[in-house]
């Protein structure tokens, strides 16, 4: 299955994406459509969502539905829909690639499907292929790329182009062109993670929009670099100094990688989730008033990304292991409100946050990113220590999120986004029905 060197890795990826897709794969893709819809509906109510919608209201109308109730062109719909699905940090996630495929691939595929009047099978097949391209590239970029670049953005543009290309029925050579022009637009610097800005949402929206544009240009014969991945001035050489290009086409007969994508149950950075799970497990045995100290042991990247003892904003709270530990031990199952500004200023939460210490645990760092693990040690005033170990976060393949819980998550997010209970149930039913007789139009008419 590997491409001859003269053809390049992009051609090999295109051939790999032609594998057959079955009913189980489509059913899984429908779950990711539902998950994205909930995240996007609630994300639209946040400051980045409100701002993006205000901008979108200045655009010409088109035929594609958006979560803001607007009808826009495919590219503009892909941008708006793509920009709001990750605001709340509840979007799906693939561990070893460190990418969130749904917020980019799903809105791109929906825009292309509406433009082409595609049926549900074509939509879901495109999502499966978009996830595959994005994840395969993501798990090949290496750790230095992730240090400086937002993998979801840089790898997501490839996934968007692959999904759109499938719906536009691009011939192999044209899809290579589309992926080439998608890759030359790969961007997204992590400086936004260090500042309270809306740039992360721009990353996702542009990745969706740019991938769609690249595929649209390819429809008309607009050529692109065939060796965008492995050429001397291409993606790997320019942006992945310790990357693993050989992983791109590895295990070509493996199940579609969408099945290894994790669903996130909690509204915070994925690096906090094993700690949240451990705090939930410990809470029943702990009197919060008697806590003397809390020690979190986890892997190095979790500490690098989520060490913030005094978060002041909602974004900072979502990236704080100290806040996640304290709020769960005090309040239990975390909600959206637990990571909003009032929670960061709650005196009781702040007091417990100050008692949380973070440590790297070497075996967890070695196991990462194949496993997201954490241990929580709660030392009590009477001298006892309550310890809970989480080897894999809830929602990962080893610890899967039940479909019923995924629907509950979508229900809560849709309600937070302004959908009535009946409207939320209709959206959930229509999304799940995509793999069993529903229609794309039937779903999108319910989106507002």
The pairing of strands 64-65 and 71-72 is: antiparallel
420-429: list long-range contacts, CB under 8 Å, 24+ apart: 427/34, 427/37, 428/34
- The topology under which CATH files domain 8-260 is 2-methylcitrate dehydratase PrpD (1.10.4100)
With 70 as the cut, is the pLDDT of residue 1 above it?
no
* Average pLDDT of every residue of the chain: 96
Residue 399 tokens, joined: 């610890």
pLDDT digits (tens, 9 = 90+) for 431-446: 999 999 899 999 999 9
* Residue 8: predicted pLDDT: 93
Is residue 332 a contact partner of residue 280, using CB atoms and an 8 Å limit?
yes
d(C-alpha 426, C-alpha 407), whole Å: 12
Residue 78 tokens, joined: 């892909």
* Residue 19: predicted pLDDT: 97
Q: How many angstroms separate the Cα of 307 from the Cα of each of 271, 301, 327?
A: 10, 10, 15
Q: Where are the alpha helices (DSSP H) in 368-435?
A: 403-416, 421-432
With 60 as the cut, is the pLDDT of residue 329 above it?
yes
pLDDT digits (tens, 9 = 90+) for 124-148: 999 999 999 999 999 999 999 999 9
Average pLDDT over residues 284-307: 96
* Residue 336: predicted pLDDT: 93
Can you tell me which residue has the tokens 């937070």?
Answer: 416
pLDDT digits (tens, 9 = 90+) for 41-56: 999 999 999 999 999 9
* CATH 1.10.4100.10 residue spans of the chain: 8-260
Q: Which DSSP category does 93 fall into?
A: B
Which is the CATH superfamily of the domain at 270-390?
2-methylcitrate dehydratase PrpD (3.30.1330.120)
Q: Where are the alpha helices (DSSP H) in 117-247?
A: 120-138, 143-148, 151-167, 172-183, 199-219, 235-239
pLDDT digits (tens, 9 = 90+) for 340-389: 999 999 999 999 999 999 999 999 999 999 999 999 999 999 999 999 99
Residue 9 tokens, joined: 């890795």
pLDDT above 90: percentage of residues in the chain:
96
Q: How many angstroms separate the Cα of 279 from the Cα of each of 172, 292, 309, 325?
A: 49, 15, 17, 6
Q: How many angstroms separate the Cα of 434 from the Cα of each of 120, 263, 283, 431, 437?
A: 5, 19, 39, 6, 6
Is residue 187 a contact partner of residue 238, using CB atoms and an 8 Å limit?
no
* Residue 118: predicted pLDDT: 98
With 70 as the cut, is the pLDDT of residue 121 above it?
yes
d(C-alpha 344, C-alpha 349), whole Å: 7
Give the DSSP per-residue string, 282-343. Answer: HHTT--GGGEEEEEEEE-HHHHHHH--SS--SHHHHHT-HHHHHHHHHHHSS--GGGGSHHH
Of residues 275 and 4, which shows the higher confidence score? Answer: 275
| Length of the chain, in residues | 448
pLDDT digits (tens, 9 = 90+) for 160-201: 999 999 999 999 999 999 999 999 999 999 999 888 899 999
* CATH 3.30.1330.120 residue spans of the chain: 270-390
With 90 as the cut, is the pLDDT of residue 306 above it?
yes
- Give this prediction's pTM: 0.94
Can you tell me which residue has the tokens 């990304």?
Answer: 305
Residue 338 tokens, joined: 């637990």
């Amino acid at each position: 299955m590997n491409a001859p060197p003269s053809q390049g890795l992009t051609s090999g990826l295109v051939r790999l994406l032609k594998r057959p897709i079955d009913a189980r794969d489509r059913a899984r893709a429908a779950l990711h459509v539902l998950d994205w819809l909930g995240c996007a509906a609630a994300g639209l109510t946040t400051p980045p969502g409100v701002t993006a919608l205000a901008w979108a209201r200045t655009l010409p109308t088109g035929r594609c539905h958006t979560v803001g109730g607007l009808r826009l062109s495919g590219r503009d719909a892909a941008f708006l829909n793509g920009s709001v699905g990750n605001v709340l940090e509840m979007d799906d996630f693939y561990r070893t690639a460190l990418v969130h495929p749904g917020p980019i691939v799903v809105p791109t595929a929906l825009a292309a499907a509406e433009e082409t009047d595609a049926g549900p099978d074509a939509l879901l097949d495109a999502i499966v292929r978009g996830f595959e391209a994005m994840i395969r590239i993501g798990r090949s970029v290496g750790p230095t790329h992730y240090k400086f670049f937002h993998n979801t953005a840089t790898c997501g543009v490839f996934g968007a182009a692959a999904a759109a290309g499938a719906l536009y029925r691009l011939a192999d050579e044209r899809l290579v062109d589309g992926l080439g022009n998608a890759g030359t637009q790969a961007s997204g610097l992590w400086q936004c993670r260090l500042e309270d800005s809306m740039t992360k949402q721009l990353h996702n929206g542009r990745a969706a929009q740019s991938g769609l544009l690249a595929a649209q240009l390819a429809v008309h014969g607009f050529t692109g670099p065939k060796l965008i991945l492995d050429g001397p001035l291409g993606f790997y050489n320019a942006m992945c100094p310790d990357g693993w290009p050989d992983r791109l086409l590895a295990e070509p007969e493996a199940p579609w990688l969408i099945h290894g994508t994790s669903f996130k149950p909690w509204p915070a950075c994925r690096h906090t989730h094993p700690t949240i799970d451990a705090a939930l497990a410990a809470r029943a045995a702990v009197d919060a008033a008697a806590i003397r100290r809390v020690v979190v042991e986890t892997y190095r990247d979790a500490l690098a990304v989520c060490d913030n003892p005094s978060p002041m904003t909602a974004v900072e709270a979502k990236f704080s292991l100290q806040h996640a530990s304290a709020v769960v031990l005090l309040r239990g199952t975390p909600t959206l409100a637990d990571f909003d500004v009032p929670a960061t200023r709650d005196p009781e939460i702040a007091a417990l946050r100050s008692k949380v210490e973070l440590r790297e645990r070497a075996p967890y760092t070695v196991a990462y990113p194949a496993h997201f693990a954490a241990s929580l040690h709660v030392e009590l005033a009477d001298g006892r220590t309550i310890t809970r170990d989480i080897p894999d976060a809830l929602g990962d393949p080893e610890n899967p999120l039940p479909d019923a819980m995924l629907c509950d998550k979508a229900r809560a997010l849709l309600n937070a986004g302004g959908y009535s209970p009946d409207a939320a149930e209709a959206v959930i039913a229509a999304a799940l029905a995509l793999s069993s007789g529903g229609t794309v139009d039937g779903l999108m008419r319910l989106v507002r």
